[in-house]
Amino acid sequence: MKKIVVLGSINVDTILNIDRLPLPGETMAMHDRSTAGGGKGANQAIAAVRAGADTSFISKIGKNHAADFMLDTFKDDGLKIDHVTEDEKAGTGKAYILLDAKGQNSILIYGGANQTITVEDIRKAKATIAEADCLITEFETPLEASIEAFKIAKENGVLTILNPAPAKQNIPAELLKLTDIIVPNETEAEAITGIKVDDRQSMENVSNKLHTMGIKNVIITVGASGSFYSQGERNGFVNAYKVNTVDTTAAGDTFIGYLAAKLDSDLSNIEEAMKFASKASSITVQTQGAQNSIPHVRDVEI
């Protein structure tokens, strides 16, 4: 069984259903409001464990009811949470999701305890990271923690996957050089490289720039169109599955968790893993919410 470690965020999501995004200064009524588990790190960890991987999670929560709600969810899925610790002062992270009638979303994040993860927290998880096949992280937790985790991973021959989300410019060169695979969407790819992603050539241009920044393997996700990969001399495109989209929340996180669970250590099956991840994501977008929409491997057919 593949061993995966995810370093990332925990959020409790509040989903606000609206017809469209409000204009500046506009007051708008909601159709509905709901609460669900979320956070990019937690979503990716749950996706990996539901994909069949032995998955450990490194994160932080506050001391409140929201924390209990999230921990119960993790235990139900069989996620290993020895390195999910409590912060005495900061609250559990929260996300406020504006979901429009077409299934597209805009998200506001309160980092809370996610932003209190330290280098020392990572060092306490060193043995767990060293024993993994793959380590995943994103940008909803401190960069210093991510760099330390990736250092430990590379010292022990562990594959590293960076999801550069939320979009960020000026990513530390040290982190990029420790990254085996970077998985941005088109917005994140443009933020990193300054190149707008709108066709196959632009994806190749983005990938080439990321290669010059020290990353050997690039996967760019482009929503309902699919995903592009580049390994330098080799590249290709995997089409998305066409489905009726209800909510795109956690689609990218599902893709990454399933990708990591399927990917061989030498990356020789990258297209097969991307198809597997794309299928899982196509199921996620058909249900409203984040973690509740992430499928189990028995429901994902290739």
Q: Report how far residue 194's alpha carbon sits from residue 175's, in angstroms, rounded to the nearest whole number.
A: 19
Q: DSSP string of 159-196?
A: EEEE---S--SS--HHHHHT-SEE--BHHHHHHHHS--
| 284 in a labelled binding site | yes
Q: Is residue 225 part of a domain?
A: yes
Is residue 101 situated within a structural domain? no
List CB contacts of 115: < 8 A, sequence separation 6 or more: 90, 141, 142
Q: Let me know if 253 is a catalytic residue.
A: yes
β-pairing, 235-239 vs 54-61, is: unpaired
Which residue has tokens 């198809």?
275
Q: How far apart are the first and last CA of the chain?
A: 19
Q: What is the DSSP string of 31-93?
A: SEEEEEEE-HHHHHHHHHHHTT-EEEEEEEE-SSHHHHHHHHHHHHHT-EEEEEEE-SSSPPE
Residue 49 assigned to a binding site: no
Walking along the chain (302 residues) 10 residues at a time, the average pLDDT comes out as 96 91 92 89 97 97 82 93 92 90 85 96 98 97 98 98 94 97 97 96 97 96 95 93 86 97 95 96 88 92 67
Domain of 48, in residue numbers: 3-8+39-91+114-299
Please check whether residue 109 lies inside any domain of the structure: no
Evaluate whether 92 touches 61 at the Cβ level (below 8 Å).
Answer: yes
Would you state the pLDDT for residue 246?
A: 85
Q: What is the CATH number of the domain that holds 290?
A: 3.40.1190.20
Catalytic residue among 19, 198, 253, 264: 253
Query: Is 269 labelled as part of a ligand binding site?
Result: no
Does the annotation flag 262 for ligand binding? no
The reply to whether 56 sits in an annotated binding site is no
The response to whether 43 counts as a known ligand-binding position is yes
- Helix 186-193 to helix 200-212 angle (10° resolution) is 50
Residue 83 belongs to some domain of the structure: yes
Q: Domains in the chain: how many in total?
A: 1
pLDDT at 50 (0 to 100): 97
Question: What is residue 95's predicted lDDT score, i.e. its pLDDT?
Answer: 86
pTM for this prediction:
0.92
Question: What's the pLDDT score for residue 302?
Answer: 61
